[in-house]
A and B are shown apart, each in its own frame.
Chain A
Amino acid sequence: MNSDLKLANDNIAARHRKARIFRMFCAGVTWMGAGLLAILLIQVTVDGIKWLDYQFLTSFPSRFPYKAGIKSALVGTLWLIVMIAMVSIPIGVATALYLEELSRKGRFAKLIEINISNLAGVPSIVYGIIGLAIFVRGLGLERSLLSGALTMSLLILPVIIIASREAIKTVPMSIRQAAYALGATRWQTAWAHVLPASFPGILTGVILALSRAIGETAPLIMIGALTYVAFLPEGPMDSFTALPIQIFNWVSRPQQEFHELAAGGIIVLLIVLLTMNATAIFIRQKTEKKLQ
């Protein structure tokens, strides 16, 4: 009896020890991720902050580090964001809505679903090759902002569709049933109730996808985005450059000053990303309140 109790006690102590170790392991892994990010941010800030001024934001690229700036890259990236959003959001959300709400759940829908999931895992350079073949050469759009935006839209569509579908799935069935009970058609239900109710979730997915798009370099290089551009695009058919391309170019140059400029460019890219994310969170909170 006594020895049984002792054994049980030992067991409890051992299990608690295991639990502690597991907790420490998880905490360690979490902090390692955060720590690496912190180190990266600190290093980038230390290297780049001294180059970050008004002149840096308003100058074109130059062979002199102190004269070089990211005006054309920043404006190119902003153009890209707007155009990608205009193309990918309507198509992505409509596809998700169709697949979740309107289509018959047959073998065909299943096939499309599997395809979309697979497409989300295709390396970005492959989309660059598709973009080059279809948009740049096939449709003759040349190396324009439009080609870039369409290619990037292809790249992030699977992500938007998957995220939007997840968001639509979380809308309670009771909302749909209430609408049907009042005689609403499927379209009316989807448009007036399901979509607004899932809007915050969709928005999160869209912003994450757009963030991925503006950080991508490979497909843009593939379709022939340029590295030295000393003018601002005036329309969707103009040639362009973008932040990651400019950063990539500076990093690969021999002189230390250009590496620091690249760090400055990374800070600007991060600010653009964080601004986008903050806007999304802000809108999400606004709309969530309104629905309740």
Chain B
Amino acid sequence: MIKRTFQRFASGGLILLIATILGAPVVSAQQLRGTVSLDGSSTVFPISEAVAEEFLAVQPRVRVTVGVSGTGGGFKKFIAGEIDINDASRPIKMKEVNKANEMGIGYIELPVAYDGLSVVVNKNNTWVDHLTVAELNKIWRPGSTATNWSDVRAGWPEMKIRLYGPGTDSGTFDYFTETINGKSGASRPDYTANEDDNALVQGISGDVGSLGYFGYAYYAANVDKLKLVPIDGGNGPISPTQTTINNGTYAPLSRPIFIYVRPDALDRKEVRAFVDFYIDSAPMLASEVGYIPLPAAVYARAKKRVDAREVGTAYHKEASPISANLLDASK
């Protein structure tokens, strides 16, 4: 813990130092003004906050604001033209694509980090060594009849299994249900749902028969209270770690998180500078706040995409066939 705090301290100091050395003489030559407005997912917020904080050291006169109204709420504001950048913990939905087209709003899709959805159980759970994707599906699918641990795998105790997970408004819920149950939003309803991940941590750590899932950062901050479950996606059980999430072996539960940028906002120098700064500093800042950086090649391609102002999404082929998935570069 102390070591980690020190690392944060050191890397933060380093950024400041670099910013001061590199920035000071150059910056005084090109001092930008204006505002850059971001909104959206609470999952992406810590990264955007960190980037905004460091950007302030380089461009103190640019006002960067970050709101938290959820991925969906952020897209509404983005499509209404009220903000420059939307923080998104899931790709844009087809419904949102249509709406954006209707309003004539373009969007540049930039993945900024990975988040490894973590499946956890109580610290005193001695029987679970790993879970397969099929077993997760057996537990979480709509209409699931698994009520005891013994229903999940033969040999496990006849103990009631109590489930904890994020509420239906959460991007985490969307991603988990889509990957495990095949359809976004499809989940058994009889679990303890809470939008506050800290409440899920509390619940799972006080309940021997519990099982739950949330973002990796919440596991990382509570390692002493929870037991992480390795997930077998077909290639043997893998635990989410910096390495396994980064190289893609922790599948299928590692998800990319994004920022969506309005191309016309890039005409404003301060927005352009901020987006460039975001991509440059994302690898270091993402890991500082508990996320996993993408491979370097992806960031390089993201920069090119900003240069070319290539709009569209890689997640709905019918909407924009020109846009390649930047993440494919690494796989």
Contacts and interface: CB of A to CB of B under 8 A. Distances in A.
Interface of A: 60-64, 137, 142-143, 221, 224-231, 239, 249, 251-256, 259
Contacts of B9: 64
B197 A228 contact: no
B257 to A, nearest CB: 15
Contact of A228 (B35, B49, B215): B49
B49 A221 contact: no
B46 A224 contact: no
B52 A228 contact: yes
Nearest to B290: A254
Given A228-B48, A253-B46, A64 B69 contact: no
B65 A229 contact: yes
Contacts of B48: 228
Contacts of B288: 63
Q: Give the interface centre of A63, A142, A256 by most chain B CB atoms within 10 Å.
A: A63
Interface residues of B, number: 38
A230 B290 contact: no
B328 to A, nearest CB: 30
Q: Give the interface centre of A142, A227, A229, A231 by most chain B CB atoms within 10 Å.
A: A227
Interface of B: 8-9, 12, 35, 37, 39, 42, 45-46, 48-50, 52-53, 56, 63-69, 77, 80, 82, 196-198, 215, 217-218, 220-222, 285, 288-290
Nearest to A231: B63
B102 to A, nearest CB: 17
Contact of B53 (A224, A226, A230): A230
A262 to B, nearest CB: 11
Contacts of B289: 63
Contacts of A251: 196, 198
Contacts of B222: 254
A28 B319 CA distance: 65
Given A64-B8, A230-B53, A239-B63, 4 more contacts: A63-B12, A249-B68, A254-B218, A255-B221
Nearest to B13: A64
Q: Give the interface centre of A143, A226, A227, A228 by most chain B CB atoms within 10 Å.
A: A228
A64 B54 CA distance: 12
A251 B64 CA distance: 22
A228 B221 contact: no
Nearest to B61: A231
